[in-house]
């Protein structure tokens, strides 16, 4: 047996850039796992992943040409079936041995041991290890099948299918070619480098020589992470040389790293007159259409320069730079044309064109939705004591940019262009800002809408969607959420908590539902279902911040109407939990909840005249004494002080459960004691369900 580095490479046509990193990682991982599973590589054998626009490859260290032999024990059959009364093999055992190729004289070596309740025969044999030459092709084929490829293609006259045509297969163990056939290709040792900067076929001397050979002769940086890092280094260096900055380039960097094999960064330029167009339009067209990296000054203002990541390194890049400038100019001209044309019609004048645009076939048109948003945003702004007229105006115009040429070309600019067009129409800054911000937050970590007007419009937009789709039974299931309702729910919750806004969630839902035509929202119990959905999102959101699960459950069990008060209640419960009395009170509260759950009817007020035992009298008087203080703290939102005030009840509660039989035989006495416990539970659970803190 020999041990050496193994190389596996598929040389292909250009692979999908956005999928390339995942394809490379999956391909390499599956091959390494296949080798280790067959004993051809140690469990800790390192492997190196390679993924470039035209190749997927992996090198795995310490791969053996043949796995070590191993002993394998297998059950044959129960002794009662295998041996007759004289201990000789039965025809059934003989047949089994013949089928497995076990020699007839091996019977004496069989082991007898209990298998469950019956004794069975077991056979141990030494099995030869797998040979790399015999199994490598199937390991590679299994890795190909495991790739996350949604759609495959067939090429040429063969039957092989893959995400792109495959031209070469390289299988090298050390310096030796491992014979095998995958995707209708026989294994060899040749590959190809850069399309233009390299010669034709390149022979790989050994698996360890793969990467240095591609770098030196092929002009290819085959490792995706290293290629990405090289591009980033060049971009930052060139930006600094230009006295400029880059902004939000990570996603584009990933994509560009999957498009080039030998990256070189050059500086391009466009006419300064294009800067009169909103910079978001220019940025998007450069990034999305041309894969350029825009440059900015220290204040974040776009410059008329950009960085090009070329797949060519040449002594004189003037033709490359001029060619890219020539290509980008028509794109920028289109953006300028769209902007100038769109400004010729006001957002208000565009509103009638929303009437034929379907929002959802059960929820009406975009114009009908705008009318709902206008009323809902105004109602929310009124609750916030904000500018109702501004909120209604912003909501009225918020969707008008959907039918502009610019947004039609670049849907990502919806809201952003609405702000520019609103300002061009002479709308107030508050209205214009709210039009742009009403989509926020669009993703985790995104900024929130600033100010009550923008918050009102953003809440209206998200609540209308949530209430509408829940109201017609279109609820997210599993990983399916076609209308992004989870994102909308998280947006509402983040605005309420982080702004924070003193709004009641049930009232918001009811107000949003009132805007729909009578009878349209026919799903039974949708409002309660929506609240449960949002509290589940809130629970996950709070857990992501590191909050304790039991504390979260205790607070959210009461389904607080004011989401903005949840953080203060969580902090209060955490402080209460640290008190020495907390555990006993939580356990007592859990006991009380169980008693009340089993009690018949609704408990009334406890009657002091019916109190008999000293322990119940003491508890009654302490509850009466502490109740006003707790209620005052809760009313003032001093939740920590409210819960700490309950700590003084511990001794009285403990004594009550030690000395008093709650479920007394006498009906009036029993009912009175249950009423006392109900009063105590109501006092203890104003901030959170403390029983949830008990194990």
Domain boundary among 218, 242, 259: 218
Report residue 175's pLDDT band, with 50, 70 and 90 as the boundaries: very high
pLDDT tens digits, residue range 471-506? 999 999 888 888 999 999 999 999 999 999 999 999
Do 390 and 357 fall within a single domain?
yes
pLDDT tens digits, residue range 233-257? 999 999 999 999 998 899 999 999 9
Q: What percent of the chain has pLDDT over 90?
A: 62
For the segment 98-119, the average pLDDT, to the nearest whole number, is: 85
User: In this structure, what are the phi and psi dihedrals at residue 48, rounded to the nearest 5 degrees?
Assistant: -120, 130
Number of domains making up the chain? 5
Instruction: Please report whether residue 283 resides in a domain.
Output: yes
Instruction: Please report whether residue 432 resides in a domain.
Output: yes
Range with the largest mean pLDDT of 123-127, 129-133, 530-534: 530-534
Instruction: Please report whether residue 560 resides in a domain.
Output: no
The answer to whether residue 598 scores a pLDDT higher than 80 is no
For the record, the structure tokens of 382 come out as 């009124």
Residues of the domain holding 187: 3-67+131-218
Between CA 249 and CA 59 the distance in angstroms is 30
Instruction: Please report whether residue 498 resides in a domain.
Output: yes
Sequence length of the chain is 695
CATH number of the domain that residue 588 is part of: 1.10.730
Between CA 266 and CA 268 the distance in angstroms is 7
For the segment 172-198, the average pLDDT, to the nearest whole number, is: 94
Do 485 and 526 fall within a single domain?
yes
The answer to whether residue 538 scores a pLDDT higher than 90 is yes
3-state secondary structure 175-192: CEECCCEECCEEEECEEE
Domain boundary among 325, 342, 359: 342
The answer to whether residue 143 scores a pLDDT higher than 80 is yes
**In the chain, what is the straight-line distance between the N-terminal and C-terminal CA atoms, in Å?**
58
State the pLDDT at residue 1: 64
State the pLDDT at residue 513: 94
Instruction: Please report whether residue 594 resides in a domain.
Output: yes
Do 275 and 323 fall within a single domain?
yes
Buried b (16+ CB within 10 A) or exposed e, 116-144: eeeebbebeeeeebbbbbebbbebbeebb
Instruction: Please report whether residue 655 resides in a domain.
Output: yes
State the pLDDT at residue 687: 87
CB 505 within 8 A of CB 559: no
Instruction: Please report whether residue 557 resides in a domain.
Output: no
Instruction: Please report whether residue 558 resides in a domain.
Output: no
Residue with token string 């992004």: 484
For the segment 18-30, the average pLDDT, to the nearest whole number, is: 95
Between CA 356 and CA 682 the distance in angstroms is 54
Nearest C-alpha neighbor of 28 from the set 140, 170, 164? 140
Cα 205 to the center of its chain, rounded Å: 44
Do 384 and 254 fall within a single domain?
no
Strand partners, 417: none
Cα 519 to the center of its chain, rounded Å: 36
State the pLDDT at residue 648: 79
Question: Mean pLDDT lowest for which of 53-57, 237-241, 429-433, 661-665?
Answer: 661-665
Do 158 and 136 fall within a single domain?
yes
- Total Cβ atoms within 10 A of residue 155: 15
For the segment 14-26, the average pLDDT, to the nearest whole number, is: 94
Do 52 and 162 fall within a single domain?
yes
pLDDT tens digits, residue range 357-398? 999 999 999 999 999 999 999 999 999 999 999 999 999 999
Do 448 and 428 fall within a single domain?
yes
CATH number of the domain that residue 401 is part of: 1.10.3210
Domain boundary among 218, 239, 270: 218
State the pLDDT at residue 695: 66
Question: Mean pLDDT lowest for which of 7-16, 128-137, 601-610, 612-621?
Answer: 601-610
Do 172 and 32 fall within a single domain?
yes
For the segment 20-42, the average pLDDT, to the nearest whole number, is: 94
Nearest C-alpha neighbor of 209 from the set 178, 180, 172? 172
The answer to whether residue 63 scores a pLDDT higher than 90 is yes
The answer to whether residue 25 scores a pLDDT higher than 70 is yes
pLDDT tens digits, residue range 263-296? 999 999 999 999 999 999 999 999 988 999 999 9
Do 538 and 572 fall within a single domain?
no
Q: What percent of the chain has pLDDT over 70?
A: 100
Do 527 and 461 fall within a single domain?
yes
C-alpha torsion angle, residues 494, 503, 569, 448 (rounded to 10): 20
For the record, the structure tokens of 115 come out as 């298998």
The answer to whether residue 350 scores a pLDDT higher than 90 is yes
State the pLDDT at residue 223: 96
Instruction: Please indicate, yes or no, whether the overall pTM of this predicted structure exceeds 0.85.
Output: no
- Summary mean pLDDT of the chain: 91
Do 415 and 506 fall within a single domain?
yes
SS3 label, residue 294: strand
Between CA 535 and CA 417 the distance in angstroms is 34
Do 276 and 310 fall within a single domain?
yes
The answer to whether residue 582 scores a pLDDT higher than 90 is no
Report residue 664's pLDDT band, with 50, 70 and 90 as the boundaries: confident
């Amino acid at each position: 047996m020999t041990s050496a580095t193994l190389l596996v490479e598929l040389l292909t046509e250009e692979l999908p850039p956005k999928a390339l990193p995942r394809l490379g990682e999956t391909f390499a991982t599956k091959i390494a796992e296949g080798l280790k599973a067959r004993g051809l590589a140690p469990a800790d054998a390192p492997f190196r992943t390679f993924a470039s626009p035209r190749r997927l490859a992996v090198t795995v260290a310490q791969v053996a040409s043949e796995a070590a032999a191993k002993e394998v024990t297998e059950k044959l059959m129960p002794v009662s079936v295998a041996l007759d009364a004289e201990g000789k093999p039965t025809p059934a055992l003989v047949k089994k041995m013949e089928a497995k190729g076990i020699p007839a004289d091996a019977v004496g070596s069989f082991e007898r041991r209990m298998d469950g309740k019956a004794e069975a025969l077991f056979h141990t044999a030494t099995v030869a290890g797998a040979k790399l030459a015999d199994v490598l092709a199937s390991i590679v084929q299994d890795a190909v099948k495991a790739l996350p490829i949604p759609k495959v293609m067939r090429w040429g006259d063969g039957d092989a299918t893959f995400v792109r045509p495959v031209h070469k297969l390289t299988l090298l163990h050390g310096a030796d070619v491992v014979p095998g056939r995958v995707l209708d290709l026989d294994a060899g040792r040749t590959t190809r480098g850069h399309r233009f900067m390299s010669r034709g076929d390149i022979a790989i001397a050994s698996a360890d020589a793969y990467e240095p050979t591609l770098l030196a002769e092929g002009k290819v940086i085959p490792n995706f992470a290293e290629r990405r890092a090289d591009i980033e280094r060049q971009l930052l260096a060139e930006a600094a040389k230009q006295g400029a900055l880059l902004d939000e380039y990570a996603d584009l960097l990933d994509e560009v790293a999957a498009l080039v094999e030998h990256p070189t960064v050059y500086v391009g330029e466009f006419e300064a007159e294009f800067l009169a167009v909103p910079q978001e339009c220019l940025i998007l067209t450069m990034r999305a259409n041309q894969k350029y990296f825009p440059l900015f000054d220290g204040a974040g203002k776009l410059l008329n320069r950009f960085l090009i990541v070329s797949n060519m390194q040449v002594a004189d890049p003037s033709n490359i730079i001029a060619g890219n400038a020539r290509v980008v100019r028509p794109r920028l001209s289109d953006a300028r044309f769209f902007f100038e044309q769109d400004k010729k019609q006001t957002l208000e004048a565009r509103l009638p064109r929303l009437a034929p645009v379907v929002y959802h076939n059960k929820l009406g048109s975009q114009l009908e939705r705008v009318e709902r948003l206008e009323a809902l945003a105004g109602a929310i702004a009124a609750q916030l004591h904000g500018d109702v007229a501004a909120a209604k105006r912003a909501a009225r115009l918020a969707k008008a940019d959907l039918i502009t040429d610019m947004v039609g070309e670049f849907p990502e600019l919806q809201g952003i262009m609405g702000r520019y067009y609103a300002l061009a129409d002479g709308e107030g800054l508050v209205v214009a800002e709210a039009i742009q911000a009403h989509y926020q937050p669009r993703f985790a970590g995104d900024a929130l809408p600033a100010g009550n007007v923008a918050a009102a419009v953003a809440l209206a937009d998200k609540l209308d969607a949530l209430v509408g789709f829940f109201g017609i039974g279109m609820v997210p299931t599993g990983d399916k959420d076609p209308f992004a309702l989870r994102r909308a729910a998280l947006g509402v919750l983040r605005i309420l908590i982080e702004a924070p806004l003193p709004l009641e969630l049930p009232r918001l839902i009811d107000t949003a539902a009132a805007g729909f035509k009578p009878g349209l929202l026919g799903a039974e119990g949708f409002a309660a279902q929506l609240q449960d959905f949002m509290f589940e999102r809130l629970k996950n959101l709070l857990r992501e911040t590191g909050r304790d699960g039991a504390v979260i459950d205790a607070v959210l069990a009461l389904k607080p109407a004011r989401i903005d008060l949840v953080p203060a209640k969580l902090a209060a419960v955490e402080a209460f939990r640290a008190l020495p009395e907390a555990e006993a009170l939580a356990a007592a509260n859990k006991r009380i909840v169980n008693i009340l759950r089993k009690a018949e009817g609704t408990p009334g007020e406890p009657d002091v005249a019916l109190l008999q035992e000293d322990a119940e009298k003491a508890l009654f008087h302490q509850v009466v004494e502490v109740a006003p203080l707790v209620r005052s703290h809760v009313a003032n939102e001093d939740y920590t002080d409210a819960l700490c005030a309950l700590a003084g009840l511990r001794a009285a509660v403990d004594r009550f459960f030690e000395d008093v039989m709650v479920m007394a035989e006498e009906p009036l006495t029993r009912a009175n004691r249950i009423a006392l416990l109900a009063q105590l539970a109501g006092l203890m659970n104003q901030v959170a369900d403390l029983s949830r803190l008990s194990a």
